[in-house]
Structure formats: structure tokens, C-alpha cells
Structure 1
Amino acid sequence: MENMKKSYFVKLLREVGSPDQTLQNCMQMVMGLMERIRRYYFGVDLNTYTNDELALMMVIDGCYILRYINNLSISGSLYSDNKLRSRNIALDLVLLENQIPFFVLEYIHDLTVQKMQPQSNLTTMLKVILDHINPFEDPLKLENVGTDATHKHILGLLHTCYKPIFHELPIISTIPTAHSAVELDRVGVKIKPNKTLTWPMEMKFKKKSKFWHKPTLKMPVVRVDNFFEVVLRNLIAYEQYSPVENYVTSYAMAMHMLVPTPADIAKLGKSGVIISHLGSNEKASNLISSICENVNLPDFYYMEPWKNIAQHCNSYWPRNLGVFKGTYIDTPWKVIALLAAIVVFLITVIQFFR
């Protein structure tokens, strides 16, 4: 990738015009931010790099990222050249270890891309590439982000895109009760895609309003593939080691509770809330379970729907209906046997009263 970085770096400087002067301006700007940049990488040994070397690294990486994303935002297609390379680049930009300070990108953007396109906005540009690696069917929105807001890095921007509309949550004292998708189906809970999301990871439980209505858990539609795994792992790592809210961790933990087995993945797939590209339900279940290993859960953004689900599951009729379904009608053969038993019973009663 180093040769590609340098190629994009040179191309961007030439496109701006006066490449030597543009490079000098970028280097001077980054050198002026050097103390702030070194503080950004607190805990990382950067003593092997001189200020000049570190500044040049920042400028090359920044220009490469901006040139790639600018081309993408203009063409609108992630697959304009090599598919595999383009998808890997998009994913690499949200790896926690690949982040460079957002303020460096902003300054380099102002000295390069904005010179060519005065109306250009860095956050809007970045959204184009983040949409391509967003595992949820619902596209990302900038309403909660703001185009003029600053962020820690590109991964931090993606994290903000998933931010819920509420902020304050009580610290949980106990892990909420886990109910799998199969268990919910047994107690009469219907699972459906959430078509009216107020935030990308919203899950809500609607109690039945009428006798013939089923209680419903509504969830965002998600594509489970390697992109899903990498994006969520990096967002969770960011949450675990940064002073930010844990809504992605909450989502991953909620999914972990819902799909502990391949049968649960199949149930959510049939409900239309999971689109798996992993080839088997077992792989999808194992992937989601592994994401939550060794993860701390200081708060849980789904306490309200989970409490309502637990209340429904523990109530008399749903609980006993679940036992009945699991015992007598969970397979076609059991249904046939039950019907046959009822017929025999009715015949016996009729003959008795004759």
C-alpha cells in the first residue's frame, strides 16, 4: 500500500496546483500541530520518528485518504477500479490502529481538496465511504453528527453516526435476562424489521394492543458478513478503551442474547432482520457470539424493551403456551400425533354417551 499512498499523494498535490507550495503549506501546518499530534498517540512510542518524519507521514497518509475518498464521492461507486482492493481500503480506514487525528485531516482537506472544491465538506465526503461499510440496511444519517462537528478520527465519526437520540442511561447492576429468537417465537413474540428507526441500532418491543395482535420485537435489518465483524469489533474496541458511550457494545450484546444457536439465526433470517452472507447459520451464530467475548457491559441501551420482553415471557399464558408448543406442536409429526389423539378422544367420548 505504501507505493499506492505515495502515488495518490503526488496526484492530489498536482491536482491542487503548485505541488511544491502545497506540500510546503501542509508540512508547515502539521509541524505547527506536532505537540498536539504526539499527545494524540499517548502510550505509543513515537520517539523513533523525528518531527519531520512524523509530519511527512501525516501529510502522505492524509492526502492519500482525501484523494481516495474525493474520487469515490465524485464517482459514487466503490467499484470503479479493483473491487477487492477498493473494499479493503474502505475497511482499512475504520481499523482502530489505522486512525490519524481528525483535525489533521481537516487541515489538509482545507489546504488541498477545498482549494479545488470550495463547497467541499470533510464529514460529507467521509460519509460516502462509511455508507459502503455500514452493515445495516438503513443508510447512515448525519442529523446527529452535524457537518461542521469535529471528531477524534474516522472511526469516531462512524461511531457518532450510530449515536441514539437519548444520552443519559442508568448504570446496570445486573445483566438483563437473555431470551433467544427461538424462545421468543415459542411465547408468541413476532420479530419484524424496524421500518421507523429513530437511530440505526434501535430495537423496540411493542405489546399486543388487541387480542389477535401478537407482541412484536422490531429490529434493524443487518447484513452479517466479514464487514459486519470487522466494523463492530473496531467500534467495540473504541468504546472499551475510550470515554464514549457503549451503544455498539449494547447492540452486539443484544444480538448475542438473541442468536446463541444456528436455529436462532435461521429464525431471524426468516423474519427478515438478518441477511447472512457467511454460508451457514452456525458460522453466523459463532461470529456474533465471539464478538462479545471479554467485553465489559457498563450500560445497556435496550433495558426497556428487554424488561418488557421478560415481563411477557414470565406471564402465565405466554409461558404455558411456550411449553405447550415445545411439547406438542414444534414439529409436523407432533401436530399429527396431537390431532390423532384428539380425534381418538372425541370418538371415545361419543361412543361412551351412546
Structure 2
Amino acid sequence: MVPSTLRDHNPSSYKPRMVSIGPLHREDENLQESEGEKAAHVLSLLRRLGSTHEETLQACARKVNASIDQIRSSYAEKIIYNNIELAKMMVMDACFILEFLYQITKREKSNLGNMMFVQFTMYDLLLLENQIPFLVLEGIFECTISKFDLTASLIDVIHPVLEHVNPFKEHKLKSTFSSNTTSHHHHILSLLHECYEYQYAKSSEFSNSRFPSAVELDRAGVSFKRARDTEWPLVMEVKLRRLPCFSFSWGKPTLIMPELDINDFTELVLKNLIAYEQFSANVTQYITSYAMAMDMLIDTQEDIAKLVESKVLVNHIGSNQEAADMINNICKEVAWRDFFYFEQWKELESHYNGYWSKNIAWLRRTYFNNPWNIVALLAGILLFVLTVVQTIFTVNPAGSD
């Protein structure tokens, strides 16, 4: 269960909207209507098999019962259901998930039915509190889909949904994982998290002090550009132009960063990934680090506008202020120990605090923040030039020796 310190900032990010998976939200009255839809998906999966329904269900039950203690220990909260009830729940939920995902993978639009149900269910399958152990999915997959589709793998069936919910659309997620060692995955959410891992990323401690926002960096000469074809989806790099044989930089530094698609579900995806990082042992805080970096870059709607203009953000949720509030809300009450952009942030901070950068930023803030200031500046320059010319002609009139 997600602790109240995180839940209170946006409870809807952790609560299933359409279907309950596993025991934690099983009694939610708002989700009872979908139980019939789940049963229909289970029946659809059983019909794909040549054997009788009873034989398949018995095989599934044996798989689950063999691991019932391990399944029960996967949940931090005490489970009120006995072993028989829990086993039935695992079989039904796993069969539903596999049939739902298989229909999406095969694009069986005639079977998918209500698109709102499909959309909400895809995101419900990512919620930290709405998971079943991956070993259950593996066992039921062996008893069902692998019997009638010899070319399919469990990872292949899950992958299209991970692509759909991925908020970094420019970067294609890894389509292949270590298929021989899938048992190290905890659940579907952990599988998505693995897509953002990078073995060469190095973390450091970074003080949570005031960092210049995107607009402030822009005024100091920093530009922003979206990353393309990178090995790590969360990459952020600072590109500096340097003159040959000189150590100092010239021109505009550029922060290369992933394009983030902000829609109605972006907060849900990021928050559940962060909650998984916060409360799981031996899970590296890649998403938390990225969200902290974005929180430092974004203070106001002007920062969102600048990043949208630079094409490193795509805002589908309405106003820029809503997007800024969403980014600033993601990391509230979040403890962070890893920061993977330490060197880049130090480099940007050094550039921002440099003599020329600070003065350029001051000029742009003072004189170039609106058209009237520009007109006033040009008028002042023209007046100064005319005054100098007038003084020259006064001191040395035309035609004088």
C-alpha cells in the first residue's frame, strides 16, 4: 500500500478506476461492475484452448497453489482471504490480464469492446496497489497462451501496453528482456521500471537548493533540445561549443533531454514508478531523479511554455499552469538518495552564475521581456547618439577650422 504521505497529494493516482487486480482493492464497491467484464475475458481465453475449461482451470490452480505462500508474502498488507480464495483470485485475475493483453497485442478490435474500458484498464494494470506477482502471470501463461500460440512470449504480450503508457514517446522501450530470467521481475509495474534502467548511469548527492528554472537558464543563454536515438530514455546531457585550443565555451550551451508527453495519465505513471522506487529494496531511483530534475527546471507556466516551445515537452492537459502544478506535485514528500544529473546540473549552474551569463540574463530580463521595454531601450540609445552628435557639433561646429 502506498503510504499516506504520498497518497494525500493525489489519491486518484494510486486507486484503480476500472478493475481491481489482486486483494488490496477487491472489496471496492465502485469496481464491482467490472467483475462481469473480467469473467468474460477469462471465458474468452479458455475458448482459445482445445482442452476443456475445467482441465485448464485445474492446471492453473495447481500452478498457483504450488506458490501460494510466496504469493501471500508478496503483499505487505495482511490478506484477509484464505488460501483457496486467494488462489481463485490469482487464477481469475491472471487469466483476465493475459486475455486483455493478448487481444491488444493481436489488435483484436472486435473483442476489445468499450474503448474507455480498455484505456482505463491499461493504466489500472500499472498501479502499485493493483498488482499480482509476476510468477503468477508466468505460471498461468504456460497453462494458457503458450499452449495455442507457440511463437508468443509473456514479455511480447505485455510490451504493447508498456509502449502505450510510456510517457517518453520519442524513445522506444526495450522489446526484449532477459527472457530466461523473468522471475526477477516483481510485477508489470517493475517491468516498466526496468525499461528506464541504465547500467552506466552514475548517481551522486545533490543539494536541494534553489536551481535556476528553464526560463532563467534560457535568459542566461541555455537552449533546450529533445534527445533522439539515445540508449537511455531519461538521458540529460549538456552540449558546449568550445574554440580549438581554448578551454572556455562560446555560444549557447544546450541541454539535451527526453521529450515528455504530458497527458491525463502522466502523473499516474510517474507517481506509481516513484512509489515503487521509494518502497522497494534494491530498486534504483531513476524516475525519482528525473522527476526531481524536472521539478527544479519548472517553477511557473512560463517554464512550461519555454520547454514546449523547445519541443522537450508536449502538453495535452490544457493550460501550462496545470502542467506546471502537475510537475511540482509529483515529488512532494518524496525522499531521494540518487541524482543522475549531478555533473550536468553543476555545469549549468556554473554557466548561469558566470559573469557574462548573469549580465546577459539581467539585460534580457530588464529590457527584452516585452516590446515596450525594447522600444524604450532603442529610444534611449537613439537619444544618447543624438546627444553625442549634438555635443560634437556644439564643440566643433561645421565649417570651423
After TM superposition, the score normalised by the length of structure 2 is 0.84
Q: Say if 1:205 and 1:217, in contact at 8 Å, map to a contact too.
A: yes
Cα shift readout 1:296-316 (whole Å, capped 9, x = no counterpart): 111111111101101111111
State the distance in 2 between where 1:350 and 1:165 align. 66
Give SS of 1:60's match: helix
Q: SS of 1:208's equivalent?
A: strand
- Whether the aligned pair in 1 keeps the contact of 2:155 and 2:176 (CA below 8 Å) is no
Deviation at 1:198, TM superposition (A): 2.2
- Counterparts of 1:251-266 in structure 2, within 5 Å, are 251-266=290-305
SS of match in other structure, 1:213:
strand
Instruction: Pick closer, same or farther for the CA change 1:168–1:340 going to 2, 3 Å.
Output: closer
Are 1:226 and 2:258 an aligned pair? Answer: no
Structure 1 CA distance, aligned partners of 2:43 and 2:111? 22
What's the offset of the Cα at 1:167? 5.0
Which aligned runs of 4 or more in structure 1 are off by greater than 6 angstroms? 76-79
Please give the per-residue CA displacement for 1:72-93, whole angstroms capped at 9, x wherever unaligned: 1011879953221111010000
Would the aligned equivalents of 2:201 and 2:340 in 1 still touch at CA under 8 Å?
Answer: no
The answer for the alignment partner of 1:207 in structure 2 is 240
Is the Cα–Cα contact under 8 Å of residues 191 and 217 in structure 1 kept in the other structure? Answer: yes
Q: What pairs up with 1:185-196 in 2 under 5 angstroms?
A: 185-196=218-229
Deviates more, 1:205-214 or 1:217-226: 205-214
Structure 2: how far apart are the matches of 1:147 and 1:273? 33
Q: What residue number does 1:276 align with?
A: 315
CA spacing shift, 1:310–1:173, aligned 2, 3 Å: closer
Name the counterpart of 2:44: 11
Greater mean alpha carbon deviation, residues 72-81 or residues 61-70? 72-81
- Letter aligned with residue 196 of structure 2: Y
Cα pair 1:208 1:214 within 8 Å, conserved: yes
Matches within 5 A, 1:131-150: 131-142=163-174, 145-150=177-182
- Residue 58 of structure 2: aligned partner: 24
Q: For the structure 1 residues 226 and 123, does the alpha-carbon distance in structure 2 shift closer, same or farther, using more than 3 Å as the test? A: same
**1:169 maps onto 2:203 in alignment:** yes
Q: From the superposition, tell whether residues 118 and 40 of structure 1 become closer, same or farther in structure 2 (CA, over 3 Å).
A: same
Amino acid at match of 2:65: M
Determine the structure 2 residue equivalent to 1:75.
Answer: 107
Question: Aligned-pair RMSD on alpha carbons?
Answer: 1.9
Q: Cα deviation per residue 1:52-72 (whole Å; 9 max; x = unaligned)?
A: 111110000000000010111
Structure 1 stretch displaced more, 28-37 or 172-181: 172-181
Equivalents in 1 of 2:231, 2:335: separation in Å?
A: 26
| Cα distance between partner residues in 2 of 1:277 and 1:88 | 17
**3-state DSSP of counterpart to 1:226:** coil
Q: Residue type matched to 1:254 in 2?
A: A
Q: CA deviation at 1:12?
A: 0.9
Structure 1: unaligned runs, 5 residues or longer? none
How much has 1:342 moved relative to structure 2?
A: 0.8
Residue 35 of structure 1: CA displacement? 1.1
Following superposition of structure 1 onto structure 2, how do residues 61-140 of structure 1 map, counting pairs within 5 Å? 61-75=93-107, 81-140=113-172
Instruction: Give the letter for the 2:342 counterpart.
Output: M
CA–CA separation in structure 1 for the residues paired with 2:334 and 2:110: 33
Identity of aligned residues (%): 41
2:241 & 2:220 partners in 1: Cα distance? 13
How has the CA–CA distance of structure 1 residues 77 and 205 changed in structure 2, closer, same or farther, with 3 Å as cutoff? farther
- Structure 2 regions of 5+ residues with no counterpart? 1-33, 244-248, 394-401
Question: What letter matches 2:311 in structure 1?
Answer: G
Q: Could you tell which deviates more after superposition, 204-213 or 237-246?
A: 204-213
Aligned to 2:389: 350
Instruction: Find the aligned partners of 1:214 and 1:338 in 2 and give their Cα distance.
Output: 24
Q: Secondary structure at the match of 2:265?
A: helix
**1:248 correspondence with 2:287:** yes
Q: Is the helix fraction higher in 1 or 2?
A: 1
Secondary structure of the corresponding residue to residue 221 of structure 2: coil
Q: Which structure has the larger Rg?
A: 2
After alignment, is 71-80 or 279-288 more displaced? 71-80
Asked if the contact 1:131/1:139 (under 8 Å) is kept, the reply is no
| 1:37 is the counterpart of 2:71 | yes
Name the SS for the 1:75 alignment partner.
Answer: coil
- TM-score by length of structure 1 reads 0.94
